[in-house]
Amino acid sequence: MTVALYCRVSTDEQAEHGFSIDNQKERLIAFCKSQGWDQYRLYIDDGYTGTNMDRPALQRLIKHIKEKKIDTVIVYKLDRLSRKQRDVLYLLEDVFDKNNVVFKSATEPFDTSTPLGKAMLGILAVFAQLERDTIIERLSTGQKLRVKSGKFSGGRIPFGYVYNSQTGKFEVSPHEAFLVREVYKKYLQGYSLSDLSDWIESQTSARYWDHARIRDMLTRETYTGVMPYGTLRSTEIAPPIIERELWEQVQQEMVRRREGFTPKGEYLLSGLLRCAECGSSFIHVIRKKGPYVYYLYGCRSQHQRPKKVPRRAPKQACTVGYRNREELESWVIEQVKRIARLDAEEFEHQIANIETNSDETEDTLRDLRKNLSDIEHKLNRWYEAFEEGTIDATQLRDRIKHLEEERRRLQTNIEELQDTLVKDTQPQRVFNAAKLIEEAWDYMTFDEKKNVLRAAISYIEIPRKGQPPVIHWNV
């Protein structure tokens, strides 16, 4: 009989109260030996909450149960499995029972091999969720009282402030506050999120920066002096760093960019360009060297790669390079105008020879899926080493972090490429758009130019320098 020993801890506080991983492992192994069970496997989620099932070791346990590799599951306490009654019942009925797996607790008097044990389990699950809900309610009430009294309720200190533990309020850090104001101003001047993360990283080493953290900074209302907490809003906790008007202008600019409008500099091909190497989309990039400013298009995977990569991690970032904005836009416009110079019959003849689903895309998809399979194989090997006790939880986290990031990137690239394989057949629409570009391009507004290009073009594949881009028409 193969026994699965599942351990979980979510906070240091739990570890201090006897729920540490080592404590759970010791008790569960001792329980197995007392029952005469020698074949057991450890499944450990170190640092994961019990309020959901998004836990790697739990998901592997479920997978192994469905593969008939496990006969019995043992936990230290029921709440180590889950703190939500719904999740407990799902695991009990749809996973354990369905696969004839017995569930036991090493410290509670039940097991699911008996009807009484199943009934007791349901009752304990109700109380586990009640305990969780009570803790959340008490914590939320305490935090609301602190906010109402004008004190910080806890959490990460926003960049630009320091926390005064005597008053429970924020104080402005002058240099960091200057950088915050500059980020807001530069965003309105047309800088991208990646440009801003590069800039602020050159100004301070206080924190790690990437485009996501810059986005968080630009949307944080606290910088206006208003600290939101749920439906509560306090003006007594944080002094303002920027004017309310500046913050609102930035929010409006972010909405414009999400809706397809480009920042200052008006990048005509935003959203149309895709990397031929990795399948990622292209973004607009501003490079500055001395007095010179260069406006470029660059692969998102290459430009927004993590700046802190583990020492032994392979270099996975794309290296397709950058393209000059003006040159690329001029080339695309000329290709569309060339189509417009054909007569309708010749255009129909040429369009009929275009393959809707390109062989190159299929080849790229195959390569990406193979890379994804390799990554998942490596992750499984690390998890198995952890279960066997070869490495500890800290080593595991350090070694799988970059693999998890690479897996997410590959999954995103595969989804984006799959979307390109299905297109509408509208050759007349392409021809009409091309004719419009030929005849009225110089008289169009910027937004009209963007719209008419998107009517003709599905996407543009950008290979390495020295090779021409490939336009995929909306046909």
Give the chain's mean pLDDT: 78
SS3 323: strand
Has residue 164 been placed in a domain? no
pLDDT digits (tens, 9 = 90+) for 132-164: 667 666 666 666 777 777 787 677 888 999 988
Has residue 27 been placed in a domain? yes
Alpha-carbon torsion (260, 264, 266, 271), positive or negative: negative
More confident residue, 171 or 318: 171
pLDDT at 341 over 80: no
Q: Which of 16-30, 127-141, 224-238 has the lowest mean pLDDT?
A: 127-141
**In terms of residue numbers, what domain contains 219?**
170-258
SS3 163: strand
Mean pLDDT computed over 226-242: 83
pLDDT at 421 over 60: no
**In sequence order, which residues have a C-beta less than 8 Å from that of residue 21 and are 6 or more positions away?**
7, 9, 15, 44, 46, 393
Within this chain, do residues 116 and 207 fall inside the same structural domain, yes or no?
Answer: no
Mean pLDDT computed over 45-56: 85
Task: Supply the DSSP symbol for 108.
Answer: S
Has residue 382 been placed in a domain? no
Q: Which of 1-5, 65-69, 84-88, 201-205 has the lowest mean pLDDT?
A: 84-88
pLDDT digits (tens, 9 = 90+) for 156-202: 888 999 988 888 888 999 999 999 999 999 888 778 888 888 889 88
Mean pLDDT computed over 85-91: 79
Bridge partners (DSSP) listed for residue 8: 45
pLDDT at 13: 47
Has residue 422 been placed in a domain? no
Bridge partners (DSSP) listed for residue 457: 473
Pick from 226, 258, 290: which residue ends a domain? 258
Q: Which of 66-75, 270-279, 336-345 has the lowest mean pLDDT?
A: 336-345
Within this chain, do residues 10 and 139 fall inside the same structural domain, yes or no?
Answer: yes
Per cent of the chain over pLDDT 70 is: 73
The answer to whether 332 and 269 are in contact (CB under 8 A) is yes
Burial 375-390 (b: 16+ CB within 10 A, else e): beeebeebbeebbeee
Has residue 216 been placed in a domain? yes
Pick from 209, 239, 258: which residue ends a domain? 258
Within this chain, do residues 179 and 107 fall inside the same structural domain, yes or no?
Answer: no
**In sequence order, which residues have a C-beta less than 8 Å from that of residue 426 and are 6 or more positions away?**
474, 475
Has residue 91 been placed in a domain? yes
Q: What angle do CA 36, 42, 46 make, to 5 degrees?
A: 140
Alpha-carbon torsion (85, 91, 97, 98), positive or negative: positive
Pick from 258, 287, 308: which residue ends a domain? 258
With a threshold of 0.75, does the pTM exceed it? no
Q: Which of 279-283, 338-342, 418-422, 423-427 has the lowest mean pLDDT?
A: 423-427
pLDDT at 264 over 60: no
Has residue 303 been placed in a domain? no
Within this chain, do residues 182 and 130 fall inside the same structural domain, yes or no?
Answer: no
SS3 473: strand
pLDDT at 16 over 60: no
Mean pLDDT computed over 103-122: 71
- pLDDT bin (cut points 50, 70, 90) of residue 337 is confident
Within this chain, do residues 39 and 100 fall inside the same structural domain, yes or no?
Answer: yes
pLDDT at 2 over 50: yes
Using CA atoms, how far apart are residues 378 and 401, in angstroms rounded to an integer?
12
Has residue 386 been placed in a domain? no
Mean pLDDT computed over 329-344: 78
pLDDT digits (tens, 9 = 90+) for 278-314: 888 888 888 877 788 888 888 887 776 554 444 334 4
pLDDT digits (tens, 9 = 90+) for 361-370: 676 777 788 8
Within this chain, do residues 135 and 9 fall inside the same structural domain, yes or no?
Answer: yes
The answer to whether 198 and 217 are in contact (CB under 8 A) is no
Using CA atoms, how far apart are residues 238 and 226, in angstroms rounded to an integer?
7
More confident residue, 326 or 432: 326
pLDDT at 347: 59
404: enclosing H helix or E strand: helix 393-419
Task: Please tell me the total count of domains within the chain.
Answer: 2
- Beta-strand relationship, 72-75 and 3-9: parallel
Using CA atoms, how far apart are residues 431 and 438, in angstroms rounded to an integer?
11
* CB-facing half-sphere around the CA of 262: CA atoms within 13 A: 22
Within this chain, do residues 184 and 127 fall inside the same structural domain, yes or no?
Answer: no
Within this chain, do residues 124 and 214 fall inside the same structural domain, yes or no?
Answer: no
Within this chain, do residues 199 and 249 fall inside the same structural domain, yes or no?
Answer: yes
Q: How many residues does the chain have?
A: 475
Structure tokens at 366: 């195959």
Using CA atoms, how far apart are residues 264 and 240, in angstroms rounded to an integer?
27
pLDDT at 218: 94
Within this chain, do residues 58 and 131 fall inside the same structural domain, yes or no?
Answer: yes
Mean pLDDT computed over 198-207: 87
Mean pLDDT computed over 29-34: 90
pLDDT at 15: 45
Task: Say if residue 365 is exposed, middle or buried (CB neighbours under 10 Å; 0-12, 13-18, 19+).
Answer: middle
pLDDT at 375 over 80: yes
Within this chain, do residues 140 and 198 fall inside the same structural domain, yes or no?
Answer: no
- Beta-strand relationship, 457-462 and 273-275: parallel
- Residue type present at position 369: R
pLDDT at 5: 94
More confident residue, 415 or 330: 330
Per cent of the chain over pLDDT 90 is: 15
Within this chain, do residues 17 and 138 fall inside the same structural domain, yes or no?
Answer: yes
Alpha helices in 7-158 (DSSP H): 12-14, 21-35, 56-66, 78-81, 85-90, 115-148
- pLDDT bin (cut points 50, 70, 90) of residue 472 is confident
The residues that are catalytic are 10
Q: Which of 46-50, 80-84, 398-402, 432-436 has the lowest mean pLDDT?
A: 432-436
SS3 296: strand
Q: What CATH number has the domain bearing residue 51? A: 3.40.50.1390
pLDDT at 217: 93
More confident residue, 438 or 209: 209
pLDDT at 315: 45
Closest CA to 281 of 412, 448, 451, 467: 412
Closest CA to 77 of 172, 5, 177, 180: 5
pLDDT at 321: 86
Maximum average pLDDT range among 77-81, 359-363, 424-428? 77-81
